[in-house]
Amino acid sequence: MSLFHCFLLRFGRNRVVNSFQLSHSLATLVDIPDYAKTLATRISNCNNLEQLDQIYAHIIRNHFLELYPAEFHWNNIIRSYTRLQSPSKALHVYITMSRAGVPPDTFTLPIVLKAIVLNYVVMVRQLHGVAVKHALDTNMYCESGFISLYSKGGDFENARKVFEQNTERKLGSWNAIIAGLSQGGRAKEAIEMFLELRESGLQPDDVTMVSVTSACGALGDLDLAFQLHKCVFQAKALEKSDLLMMNSLIDMYGKCGKMDLAYRVFSSMKERNVSSWTSMIVGYAMHGYVRDALECFRCMREAGVRPNHVTFIGVLSACVHGGMVQEGKYYFSMMKNEYGIAPMLQHYGCMVDLLGRAGLLEEARGTIEGMPMKANVVIWGCLMGACEKHGHVKMGEWVAKHLQQLEPWNDGVYVVLSNIYASNGMWEEVRRMRAIMKETKLAKVPAYSLSTSSD
């Protein structure tokens, strides 16, 4: 019996396929392989989630994946859901694929791992087991994917195990472990791994250098920064991406406090994108070069480069350092109204800090109360520091209640509140604070204090 006759017996002669405007009748499906090819193309070209849902629903209703159980079609659907930022649906399709008895191929698991990267869930070990079962664990895409996932989940022990199991690992696995360590706050280990990479004989690429320079910036090691700068030029000689690496150099020098060198790199660039400008602005703001940060932002806008939410964190931070309240309000409004960027916690934190330092405590309180999300301990800490700086008792007590709810174990709030009472000569309240700390026997966490900005 031909494939076409199987199709007719399964679906009936009069059934019409039109769930997603394909509008193919059975008369047009005499050549089933062509139909499968058309369907695969539709899935690959799908540019919105609703349309993809309709296509997938059509496939389920018509049992297409039973007729064509090849891994390619499953992979295509999973990839498309991942591409459209719907990781949960991508994982659901993979689970359905597994239950249908279709084994993964060398493309399936890397795609699924990307879905988990978008939304980390506790199934990486299960997928790792599947990879081992099907002898896919040493596939370079699977290997780098598992290293990245374990690192993102903070499981560096398993990340290293995956990395070390393959003695013939490719550059992608090196990049995954270096990036994982760098992003996970293990900058020194990331640098050490980079040195091992150099000793292995492999040449780093732009991805490697971005991770390593980021780790160097976290360490603030200027001597190392100079050495890495040379490595960047070696990577450029291999015709790797220039823009990405040059941006990483700007970021590295900025974090090391060498804005003159950051500017030298920036000015030598033939092409600059939003990351290039933002790295300069954030670097200037971080080290208190307020006017330079705002002038850089002005030039960025004149160049026609659209700022993003990170750019405005840098701009607002510069305003905080310079005590520029009106300018801060202006840029905050510009971000929302001119560029349509919804403020995040960091933006609100800058505004609360800016208003608080200027003594505009009621306005800072109004900003917190008007936030669409709950304030975190950093934002409350900024306002608490402002209360300490200006000796505002009533506001300090109000903020202290919120901090106690968020971190009941942290005695920093009692210390700051005690200082506020002392600045107002309220010695009875100072003694009460000390008594509370003594009675509750709150243990001070080593090297931890309340995040305030009382300077």
CATH number reported for the structural domain that contains residue 57 in this entry: 1.25.40
Q: Is residue 141 part of a domain?
A: yes
Q: Is residue 383 part of a domain?
A: no
CA 232 to chain centre: 24
Q: Which pLDDT value is given to residue 41?
A: 85
Q: Is residue 102 part of a domain?
A: yes
Positive/negative CA dihedral, 108, 113, 116, 120: positive
Residue 16, SS3 per DSSP: strand
The low-confidence residues of the chain, meaning pLDDT below 70, are 1-34, 117-122, 233-241, 440-455
DSSP summary character for residue 26: G
Helices (H), 201-258: 206-219, 222-237, 242-255
Q: Is residue 101 part of a domain?
A: yes
The string of DSSP codes covering 325-336 is: HHHHHHHHHIII
- The residue segments making up the domain with residue 132 are 45-168
Q: Is residue 148 part of a domain?
A: yes
Q: Which pLDDT value is given to residue 311?
A: 97
Residue 25, phi then psi, degrees to nearest 5? -85, 170
State the Cα–Cα distance between residues 306 and 201, nearest whole angstrom. Answer: 41
Place of tokens 């919804």: 342
Residue 270, SS3 per DSSP: coil
Contacts of residue 92, defined as CB under 8 A and 6 or more positions apart, other chains included, come to: none
DSSP summary character for residue 343: P
Q: Is residue 369 part of a domain?
A: no
Overall residue count recorded for the chain in this entry: 455
Cβ-contact 265, 275 below 8 angstroms: no
Residue 24, SS3 per DSSP: strand
State the Cα–Cα distance between residues 71 and 68, nearest whole angstrom. Answer: 9
Task: Look at the chain and report how many structural domains it folds into.
Answer: 1
Q: Is residue 99 part of a domain?
A: yes
Q: Is residue 301 part of a domain?
A: no
Per-residue burial over 410-424, b if 16 or more Cβ lie within 10 Å, else e, is: bbbbbbbbbbbbebe
Place of tokens 């208003």: 355
